Amino acid sequence: MALIRDLKGVTSTACNLLEKLHLLTTDDLLFHLPRDYEDRSTIVAMNQLSIGRSYLLEGEVKSVDFPPGKRKSMAVQVQDEFGKVTLRFYHIYKALTDKLNIGQRVRLFGEVRIGARGLELYHPEILTLQPLSRYSRLTAIYPSTEGLNQKKLREYIQLAFDLHSHDLTELLPKQFSKDYALKDALSYIHHPPLQANMQQLMQGQHPAQQRLILEELVSHQLSLLTRRAYVQHTASARCKPSKQLAKALLATLPFSLTNAQQRVSKDILSDLTQNKPMLRLVQGDVGAGKTLVAAVAACHALESGWQVALMAPTEILAEQHYLNFKRWLEPLGIHVSWLSGKQKGKARQMAEATIQQGIAKMVVGTHALFQDSINFKQLGLVIIDEQHRFGVDQRLALRDKGPNQTTPHQLIMTATPIPRTLAMSAYGDLDTSVIDELPPGRTPIHTVTVPLERREDVLQRIVNNCTDGKQAYWVCTLVEQSETLDAQAAEATYIEIQQRFPELNVGLVHGKMKANDKQAVMQAFKNNELQLLIATTVIEVGVDVPNATIMIIENAERLGLSQLHQLRGRVGRGAQASFCVLLYKNPLSQHGQERLSILKESNDGFVIAEKDLQIRGPGELLGTKQTGDLGFKVANLERDQYLLSQAQHIAQQLMQQDPKTVDALLNRWLPNAPRYAYV
């Protein structure tokens, strides 16, 4: 391996461009894999073209002209036996015009677009009329950056290949490289041979690709496992196995834990009593009762003298947890305190001081808890609610918040049910428990879809229901995922409803309001002083008002399925029958109809998440924070699921037996990811 800068024939301008693509070494070049292939093997008839695809075409130049317009351009009509296309050039020079005289035969390659004259090719490549067999069948197309064309990139990759492919090391166990040695696999993928099966290659199904995919998945697993090892390498805030405080808490509740809650609580207690830090993800559908499981876990740590921090992604949710924990724990003699980014001046200083002195035992708050200025005296357990909004790095930052050399236990709770395969990749560093049972007495939510034209009907009905004592949410969303615009839409709806139905008690809550005001409105809704709550998606996660039984979601077609499921999970929390009305804007595409009907048919967050994954891909499902972690070069989580358990298995073995190979794999596949010393 060598630095690209040291190669002859690569200019320093080119080096800078390659650096933009994170390509620094010859190995980086070798592993810069095609994102697509062009087929230059067959000349395609001009009546067989689809827009947006690239083709090899051949025909006769019929006309050349310079149409009037703002930008000077040249339009060249080329025709074959079957049809015609227009070539359009904005950059015109003699060598080009020489090749394009009327009556001349030309061979072209380029992407077909729709232009002023029908099918057009902008600046196609003009190729010589040599026999076709001289072309490579499939030409690799690489991810690139402005200023660096495919031809150059191909050249550099070839150069790296010629110079350094012989010193590539095999890093996978032998049985996985026997069909394709690494060098051969790379060679195949960069330069598919004449007889290559194009279909197979385009779908990532060729054995040469599969071998690399496996290697990348293994490396990805390794990055998770090394992170895990890094955290677990330190001592934990070990807890006593006694359960007195938890028992005392449960004795005050009007119900008992469900079997699933009990099972998960047991997993957690067993982790907490170990001398390595817990890293556990608790998954449970909306309403499964995760908060109580968190409270039970908190009791174990508190009883052993540790401080506990509970973090939630939004102010509203954090406040709700704060009030719950206060209600549950203060009667048991535990001081519960509050920390948020909005706290300023004296209040903030006080909050920080009580945390630092260890007076605050149970601290509930938002992201603010991660900040450097927050120092705990004896932090033993961190609980993160609705995990998908936090990034892995934020999770790692917690390692430093514990007292000297110990790492707090981490309990992560998510209501976005994550399909197993995806969980393995996104949360491979965590142990998982699932609360797969809802507390008794819940009635399933009845979901209907209604076009926006019938909004007035829906509104009248909701108002009637609310005057009869029911409570409802009305959720406003807009095209862009913008809390500001959503807030405006919610305000407009609020004003409209208030003016038209003055007898109704209507509330408004959105992310642009002050924390206190939001809290007051939520509290009034909880107390049944408000019957209708107009809201934005800020209420998406966690908020709990068991008496609310109706939810209307405007522009439902614009939200993700899991998000809709989360939202609708705000109702259906008591014994009464609940309804969810998804208002959609016509015309709704076939695809849109299918999506919404999934919600009508299923109340199971896992089923919905699987579908969401199929429809929208993993990045969307996990939220933007995590997509960076999932930036694969060759692997595709959905397509390559079948390789995941094998990858996990290989990774585990390598971790135990071969730290050198682990490092080499991480360097090869994840050269830009933060590296954690794990031994």
**Interface with ligand ADP by CB under 6 A: which residues?**
255, 257-258, 261, 284, 286-292, 415, 439, 542, 544, 546, 573
Applying CB under 5 A, the span of 298-306, 372-380, 540-548, 656-664 interacting with Mg ion comes to 540-548
Applying CB under 5 A, the span of 18-26, 42-50, 539-547, 632-640 interacting with Mg ion comes to 539-547
Of 294 and 550, which has the nearer Cβ to ligand ADP?
294
Q: Which does 289 bind (CB under 5 to 8 A by kind): Mg ion, ligand ADP, none?
A: ligand ADP
Report residue 25 as tokens: 């070494």
Q: Which does 173 bind (CB under 5 to 8 A by kind): ligand ADP, Mg ion, none?
A: none
Report residue 203 as tokens: 């779908």
What is the smallest separation between the CB atom of 437 and ligand ADP, expressed in angstroms? 9
Q: Which does 206 bind (CB under 5 to 8 A by kind): ligand ADP, Mg ion, none?
A: none
What is the smallest separation between the CB atom of 416 and ligand ADP, expressed in angstroms? 11
Q: Which does 544 bind (CB under 5 to 8 A by kind): ligand ADP, Mg ion, none?
A: ligand ADP
What is the smallest separation between the CB atom of 391 and ligand ADP, expressed in angstroms? 21
Instruction: Name residue 260's amino acid.
Output: A
Where would I find the H helices in 42-181?
Answer: 94-99, 150-164
What is the smallest separation between the CB atom of 291 and Mg ion, expressed in angstroms? 5
Residues sharing a CB contact under 8 Å with residue 184, sequence separation 6 or more, in sequence order: 208
What is the smallest separation between the CB atom of 549 and ligand ADP, expressed in angstroms? 14
Of 362 and 462, which has the nearer Cβ to ligand ADP?
362
Sign of the four-CA dihedral 667, 672, 678, 679? positive
Distance CA 14, CA 156 (A): 10
What is the smallest separation between the CB atom of 567 and Mg ion, expressed in angstroms? 13
Tell me the Cα Rg of the chain: 30
Largest CA distance in the chain: 94
Phi, psi for residue 127 in degrees, rounded to 5:
-105, 160
Of 295 and 299, which has the nearer Cβ to Mg ion?
295
Of 290 and 395, which has the nearer Cβ to Mg ion?
290
365 contributes a contact to Mg ion by CB under 5 A: no
Of 290 and 573, which has the nearer Cβ to Mg ion?
290
N-term to C-term CA, the chain: 27
Q: Which residue is nearest to Mg ion (CB)?
A: 542
Q: Which does 343 bind (CB under 5 to 8 A by kind): ligand ADP, Mg ion, none?
A: none
Nearest to 269 by CA among 292, 232, 240: 240
542 contributes a contact to Mg ion by CB under 5 A: yes
Q: Which does 549 bind (CB under 5 to 8 A by kind): ligand ADP, Mg ion, none?
A: none
What is the smallest separation between the CB atom of 544 and ligand ADP, expressed in angstroms? 4
What is the smallest separation between the CB atom of 385 and Mg ion, expressed in angstroms? 6
Q: Which does 329 bind (CB under 5 to 8 A by kind): ligand ADP, Mg ion, none?
A: none
Using CA atoms, how far residue 621 sits from 19, 116, 430, in Å, is 31, 40, 18
What is the smallest separation between the CB atom of 506 and Mg ion, expressed in angstroms? 26
What is the smallest separation between the CB atom of 529 and Mg ion, expressed in angstroms? 23
Beta-sheet pairing, 471-475 with 125-127 = unpaired
Applying CB under 5 A, the span of 85-93, 107-115, 205-213, 534-542 interacting with Mg ion comes to 534-542
Q: Please, are residues 274 and 304 in contact by the beta-carbon 8 Å criterion?
A: no
Distance CA 338, CA 273 (A): 27
Beta-sheet pairing, 84-89 with 105-115 = unpaired
110 contributes a contact to Mg ion by CB under 5 A: no
Distance CA 188, CA 155 (A): 16
The 3 state secondary structure assigned to 153-211 is HHHHHHHHHHHHHHHCCCCCCHHHCCCCCHHHHHHHHHCCCCCCCHHHHHCCCCHHHHH
Report residue 582 as tokens: 């998804």
Q: Please, are residues 67 and 75 in contact by the beta-carbon 8 Å criterion?
A: yes
Of 139 and 291, which has the nearer Cβ to ligand ADP?
291
Of 416 and 648, which has the nearer Cβ to ligand ADP?
416
Of 87 and 295, which has the nearer Cβ to ligand ADP?
295
Distance CA 197, CA 189 (A): 12
Of 77 and 387, which has the nearer Cβ to Mg ion?
387
Distance CA 615, CA 560 (A): 9
Q: Which residue is nearest to ligand ADP (CB)?
A: 289
Of 23 and 299, which has the nearer Cβ to ligand ADP?
299
Q: Which residues pair with 475 in a beta bridge?
A: 535, 553
3-class secondary structure, 615:
helix
The 3 state secondary structure assigned to 145-156 is CCCCCHHHHHHH
What is the smallest separation between the CB atom of 542 and ligand ADP, expressed in angstroms? 6
Residues 273-292 binding Mg ion (CB under 5 A) are: 290
Of 380 and 542, which has the nearer Cβ to ligand ADP?
542
Residues sharing a CB contact under 8 Å with residue 122, sequence separation 6 or more, in sequence order: 87, 88, 89, 90, 110, 111, 113, 115
Residues sharing a CB contact under 8 Å with residue 634, sequence separation 6 or more, in sequence order: 33, 204, 209, 212, 213, 216
Report residue 103 as tokens: 């009556």
What is the smallest separation between the CB atom of 535 and Mg ion, expressed in angstroms? 17
What is the smallest separation between the CB atom of 282 and ligand ADP, expressed in angstroms? 9
Report residue 590 as tokens: 């076939």
The total of other beta-carbon atoms located within 10 Å of residue 382's CB is: 28
Q: Which does 634 bind (CB under 5 to 8 A by kind): ligand ADP, Mg ion, none?
A: none
Of 18 and 533, which has the nearer Cβ to ligand ADP?
533
What is the smallest separation between the CB atom of 32 and Mg ion, expressed in angstroms? 43
What is the smallest separation between the CB atom of 410 and Mg ion, expressed in angstroms? 17
Q: Which does 227 bind (CB under 5 to 8 A by kind): Mg ion, ligand ADP, none?
A: none
Distance CA 73, CA 560 (A): 44
Of 542 and 623, which has the nearer Cβ to Mg ion?
542
Sign of the four-CA dihedral 98, 103, 104, 107? positive
Query: How many C-alpha atoms does 203 have within 13 Å on its Cβ side?
Result: 6
Q: Which residues pair with 111 in a beta bridge?
A: 54
The total of other beta-carbon atoms located within 10 Å of residue 458's CB is: 18
Of 10 and 257, which has the nearer Cβ to ligand ADP?
257
Q: Which does 286 bind (CB under 5 to 8 A by kind): Mg ion, ligand ADP, none?
A: ligand ADP
Instruction: Please name the residue that has the structure tokens 């394009």.
Output: 100
Q: Which does 258 bind (CB under 5 to 8 A by kind): ligand ADP, Mg ion, none?
A: ligand ADP
Q: Which does 570 bind (CB under 5 to 8 A by kind): Mg ion, ligand ADP, none?
A: none
Of 123 and 327, which has the nearer Cβ to ligand ADP?
327
Applying CB under 5 A, the span of 202-210, 328-336, 527-535, 542-550 interacting with Mg ion comes to 542-550
- Binding residues vs Mg ion (CB under 5 A): 290, 542
